[in-house]
Structures are given as C-alpha cells and as structure tokens.
Amino acid sequence: MTKILMVHDYPPIEGGGLEVNTFLVSKYLTQKGYPVTIATSRLTSETFRQPLITQKDGVKIKHLKSLNGLEELIRRNDIVHVQLTFSLRPAAMAAMEICQKLGKRFFVTLHTNITHIPFSALANLNPLEKEQLLNKAKTFLCSELTTIIAPSPTIKDSFTKLGIEKELKVIRPGIELERIKNFKDGMFTPCDLLTIGEVSLMKGLNYLIDALKILEKEESKIKLRIVGDGPDVSLLKRQAEVFGFSDNIEFSGYIPHDEIFGMINSGKILVQPSLTEVCPTVVLEALALKKAVVASDLSGLAEVLGFGKYGVLFKTGNAASLAEKISQLLQNKDLREELGVRGQKYVFKNFSIEKQVYSLTKVYTEFKKL
C-alpha cells in the first residue's frame, strides 16, 4: 500500500485549522488502508502545545530533530505532502529541498496567501533574508516536481503577485459532518457573539472590540466570547478593560477541538474579523451548525461565504462596518435563521472530509501512474 508522509511545522494533531485538517485527513486515509506519518518540527505553536506522542488513531507522529531524520522519512515514503504556509518554516522548506535533491515528486498544499506574510515568522527577518527565503520557496513551487494544491482558487492571486504561473489543483477542506449530525448541545453557556482562533491582531480582534464600543449605546449588553490563545491576549484584555468591557467580553482560552461544536453552538453569531484568511475550518463548522457568520470581505472568506449568500461580509479592518453588520444580524432573528439554513446546505454539499480525502486519493493515484 502507498505510504504517505505529511510534513509541516505545527503541532501534529490540533491547534489551528491546518493542524486539525491535516490530522483528520491523515486519520481518514489510514482508515482506507494508507499508512500515514505526520512529521513536524514543532510541538508548540502560538495557540497550543501538543504533548509528545508517537501515534493516534493509527497515524504515526514524528517529531523532527534533524535533516537526516527528515530525509530518511522522505526516502521511506512513497508520497510526500508538504503543508505550507507563508511563514515558510524549516521542516516544510527542508522537505521541498530534499525532494528536489532526490528528484522526487511531491505535493504542496498552501494554507495561507501572501497577505499572511506581515503577520508571519517572515516579518521578523530583514528584507534581504525575507527575499532570499521567498525566492527559494518560489523555486520549489515552480519546480516540475511539485504538484500544488489549494483550498481555494483565491490563492492564485498570491501566485500571480509572486510571478508564479502554474496550475493549481483546488481541493476544498473537509469537516466531519457525521459528528455534527450527532452533536448534542448544552456544553457551554450562551453568548451573543463568538470568535474562535488565534488571539492576535492578525485575526482583527481589536476591530471587533472597537465595534462593540460603537454598539455600546445601541446594544449595551452584548456578550462576546473570545476562544483561543495567542500572542496578543494581554493586549486585547487591556483594550477590553480600557473600554469598560470586562463583564461583556469573556476570554475563554484554548479548548480542545473535540469540544468546538458545543462552543460554536453557544453563540448566536460567529464573527471572523481576520486581516488575512483563506478557508477557515471554524467558519465551515459554524455554517454546518446553522450559525450566522459575519466575516471580513477578504477574497478567501468572501468566496467561502458565497460573496454574501451564506454569511454577512463587512469591510476588512473597518470597525464601523463590522458594528453595522453585527447590529443587523442581532436584530433580525429571521435573517440569522435563513443564513443558517442556507449555509448548512452549502457546507453539507461541498465540504465533507470524505469528499476531501476522495479528491486527494484520486490525485495520489494519478501521481503513482506517472
């Protein structure tokens, strides 16, 4: 049976959308009889720390400690699939370089676009270092050995800006719809607004708190729950305190993904005010649970939400626009329910984990025939 190696630089099981989806895909591939190993350079991210384990649900886990160890894994597996972000972290970059050296074809799934760069690890480099790393990545991505997969066609815009002319295979991310069908409610106390993910300025959470300030007179008792961890927790807590929102805003911290459906169901509206995003898992999960979603009008988010058909879009980085859309939904239960029904049908039709895994196995099979 074809052996598959997934390589990335984040905790191997959960922590964010990339981590959750990569593990979920690996688990379902394993159930189909494919031996899958996830190799990662880090057990700790900005949001989550993963204890060291070597296996879960049949998926092998390898914590990379050397380039030799990574090369040995690449040689030992039939398919190498790199999970890449525009942080361009070491394991993903090294895996692509080793495959180039060995003349081995490989897959790359891009989980972010270039708007992620100002918020990424690249932002800490000087201009020369950043350009050097981007050019190196560009060389790997342009290689004839590389098959590029994207969760959304909007990533093509990033390629054009980098000067890359190459076809993308678009494979939508999937979620466990059967778990959602069997989900039991009542795990968390209700709230009005909910946002889930990395707690950082990259996610636009300061604009969300600004929007609450704008709505203070009109909707003085709005309850917001911020779920997750990240580099800007203290900063955002101070902003909430300065605005007098200590009782209105709850910082819940990170919760395990097993509990995420209950958390999503606790809010009337999921808010995704990100400044950079492609196809966030939490938005798909919220839609599948019939939740109304308010999100930035970024190309990736707008596309996921059918350009307003399955959710409400506001002007990215504009607190007044966000406040207006939140008020519109809070005051209109019928609209919330209508969006919820529409969104659920859309997600159930297009974003199952089974559909994603089927598409991947089809691409892998075509690859093996070459």
Residues 246 and 334 in one domain: yes
**Which residues on neighbouring strands pair with residue 60, listed in sequence order?**
37, 55
Residues 74 and 163 in one domain: yes
In this predicted structure, what is the pLDDT of residue 369? 60
CA–CA distance, 55 with 62 (Å, rounded to integer): 9
Residues 103 and 197 in one domain: no
In this predicted structure, what is the pLDDT of residue 270? 98
Span 51-76, pLDDT tens digits: 989 999 999 999 999 999 999 999 99
> Residue 230: is its pLDDT beyond 90?
yes
Domain span including residue 191: 177-350
Residues 141 and 54 in one domain: yes
Q: Do strands 249-253 and 267-272 pair parallel, antiparallel, or not at all (unpaired)?
A: unpaired
Span 258-275, pLDDT tens digits: 999 999 999 999 999 999
298-315 in b/e form (b: 16+ CB < 10 A) is bbbbbebbeeeebbbbbe
In this predicted structure, what is the pLDDT of residue 243? 95
Residues 170 and 182 in one domain: no
> Residue 370: is its pLDDT beyond 60?
no
Question: In sequence order, what E strands does 171-248 have?
Answer: 191-196, 224-227
Residues 202 and 313 in one domain: yes
Neighbouring C-beta atoms of residue 334, cutoff 10 Å: 7
In this predicted structure, what is the pLDDT of residue 183? 82
Distances, alpha carbon 299 to alpha carbons 37, 47, 75, 156, 194, in Å = 33, 25, 38, 11, 22
> Residue 83: is its pLDDT beyond 70?
yes
24-43 in b/e form (b: 16+ CB < 10 A) is bbbbbbbeeebbbbbbbbbb
Span 138-160, pLDDT tens digits: 999 999 999 999 999 989 888 88
Residues 143 and 197 in one domain: no
Q: What is the mean pLDDT of the chain?
A: 94
Contacts of 68 (CB under 8 A, 6+ apart): none
Residues 183 and 170 in one domain: no
Show the CA angle centred on residue 115, arms to residues 197 and 145, nearest 5°: 100
Domain count, the chain: 2
Show the CA angle centred on residue 316, arms to residues 311 and 317, nearest 5°: 135
CA–CA distance, 142 with 121 (Å, rounded to integer): 22
| DSSP letters spanning 156-179 | HHHHHHTT-----EE----B-HHH
> Residue 320: is its pLDDT beyond 60?
yes
In this predicted structure, what is the pLDDT of residue 184? 75
CA–CA distance, 70 with 49 (Å, rounded to integer): 22
48-63 in b/e form (b: 16+ CB < 10 A) is bebeeeeeeeebbbbb
> Residue 133: is its pLDDT beyond 90?
yes
Span 188-221, pLDDT tens digits: 999 999 999 999 999 999 999 999 999 987 776 8
The mean pLDDT of 242-246, rounded to a whole number, is 93
In this predicted structure, what is the pLDDT of residue 329? 96
Residues 228 and 337 in one domain: yes
Span 25-56, pLDDT tens digits: 999 999 999 999 999 999 999 899 999 899 99
**CATH number assigned to the domain comprising residue 304:** 3.40.50.2000
Residues 163 and 39 in one domain: yes
Banded model confidence at residue 6, pLDDT cuts 50, 70, 90: very high
In this predicted structure, what is the pLDDT of residue 361? 95
CA–CA distance, 52 with 315 (Å, rounded to integer): 41
Residues 266 and 346 in one domain: yes
| Residue 7: HSE in the Cβ half-sphere, 13 Å Cα cutoff | 29
Percentage of the residues of the chain whose pLDDT score is greater than 90: 89
In this predicted structure, what is the pLDDT of residue 72? 98
Residues 258 and 111 in one domain: no
In this predicted structure, what is the pLDDT of residue 368? 67
In this predicted structure, what is the pLDDT of residue 71? 98
CA–CA distance, 326 with 228 (Å, rounded to integer): 21
